[in-house]
Amino acid sequence: MCCPKPRYVKDKFPELKPTAWINAKAVGPTDIKNKVVLVYFFSFGDELSETTLSHLSYLHKKMKGKGLVVIGVHAPSLEKEKDVAFVKAQVKNYGIEFPVAIDNTHDVWKAFRNQFYGQFHFVDVNGTVRHTRSGEDIAEEVELAVIHLLNESGKRLDLGPEIDGVCLEGDWYVGDGYVELESSSGRIDLRYIGEGVDLVLSSPKAKKLEVTIDGEPVSSSIAGRDVIQEGGKSYLVVGKEKSHQVAREKRKVMREVEMKVRGKGLRLMGFCVME
């Protein structure tokens, strides 16, 4: 998916005058200068997609250092949602770390000419609203649009080489139902949406593989039974072929698992996402 060319330009990024901000003092012109901005309108009282919020959190963490600013706009659909303390509690409950504008008067909604809950607005580095999008199951489309705008501004980003949803770094042999590392080092990145994930792995010699989730050691609150935590890091011990339980959670979220591999011969036979 590519964003429309400039002739489809709608509006410039408007001045934001929300009721309050969460996770930021305020977001103004200097904060978005030369940045790609992704604005998302939502309500905790409307049919809320936990997966979408999780994906936005993922994009915020992954690309905030690469020129992306994610802004959530909470426009209340119920009277109780005008309570700032209520919204703050929900933001914390959902683990949202990107800036959220509380739009109790719907002034931000009107400034963006927003039409629906769950609508995205894509803003380029010149402050122009280039595209809007709404709908279910469009996480990949949203990410591709963001990458397009970042690349347009001079960045060089892509989704990486991918085999069955797994991105691989290093030299890998692609066999019948497995991939095997042929270089002395490599990396496995797996992005998933679910309540957990298992990886089927094997190694000719037993080894410890460092594993992280969203760039951090796997926390004890979500660690699967096969994760070992030592010295502030987290590992999987891989030997004979088996399914390794990496993560378990109580709700569906988007996560990125990364494993650093040292030594040839590691095989990945597959993965299973808990729905």
Evaluate if residue 270 carries a pLDDT over 50. Answer: yes
Do residues 139 and 52 lie in contact, with contact meaning Cβ atoms separated by under 8 Å? yes
* Backbone Cα Rg of the chain: 21
One-letter amino acid at 188 equals: I
26 φ, ψ to 5°?
Answer: 180, 160
Q: What is the pLDDT of residue 1?
A: 35
What are the residues whose beta carbons fall under 8 Å from the beta carbon of 6, sequence distance 6 or more? 128, 130
Count of positions (residues) in the chain: 275
Same domain for 260 and 189: yes
Evaluate if residue 203 carries a pLDDT over 80. Answer: yes
* Residue 1 forms part of a structural domain: no
Same domain for 40 and 146: yes
Same domain for 215 and 108: no
CA distance 271 to 244: 9
User: Which string of b and e fits 218-228 if b means at least 16 CB within 10 Å?
Assistant: beeebbbebbe
Secondary structure letter of residue 223 according to DSSP = B
**Could you say which of 152, 170, 202 is where a domain stops?**
152
**Could you say which of 102, 121, 152 is where a domain stops?**
152
Q: What is the pLDDT of residue 159?
A: 56
CA distance 72 to 55: 12
The SS3 of residue 19 is coil
* Residue 157 forms part of a structural domain: no
Evaluate if residue 8 carries a pLDDT over 70. Answer: no
* Residue 59 forms part of a structural domain: yes
Same domain for 137 and 15: yes
Q: What is the pLDDT of residue 10?
A: 56
The SS3 of residue 13 is coil
Q: Which residues pair with 230 in a beta bridge?
A: 233
Same domain for 185 and 133: no
**Is the Cα torsion angle 85, 87, 93, 234 positive or negative in sign?**
negative
Same domain for 205 and 128: no
Identify the CA nearest to 198 among candidates 207, 211, 185: 211
Same domain for 21 and 57: yes
Burial level of 196, CB count in 10 A (0-12/13-18/19+)? buried
In the block, tokens 């803003």 appear at: 123
Return the CATH number at 135.
3.40.30.10
Q: Which stretches within the chain are classed as H helix?
A: 29-32, 50-63, 84-93, 107-111, 139-152
To 10 degrees, what angle do helices 139-152 and 50-63 make? 20
Q: What is the pLDDT of residue 163?
A: 62
Same domain for 210 and 262: yes
Return the CATH number at 258.
2.60.120.260
**The model's pTM:** 0.69
pLDDT in tens, 211-222: 999 889 999 999
One-letter amino acid at 157 equals: L
Same domain for 90 and 45: yes
CA distance 275 to 257: 16
Number of domains in the chain: 2
Same domain for 255 and 170: yes
**Could you say which of 102, 117, 152 is where a domain stops?**
152
Query: How is residue 10 written in tokens?
Result: 């709608």
* Residue 259 forms part of a structural domain: yes
Q: What is the pLDDT of residue 158?
A: 64
Same domain for 241 and 145: no
Query: How is residue 56 written in tokens?
Result: 């936005």
* Residue 190 forms part of a structural domain: yes
* Residue 129 forms part of a structural domain: yes
Please give the residue range of the domain that contains residue 65. Answer: 6-152
Q: Using 50, 70 and 90 to split pLDDT, how confident is the model at 143?
A: confident
Same domain for 101 and 44: yes
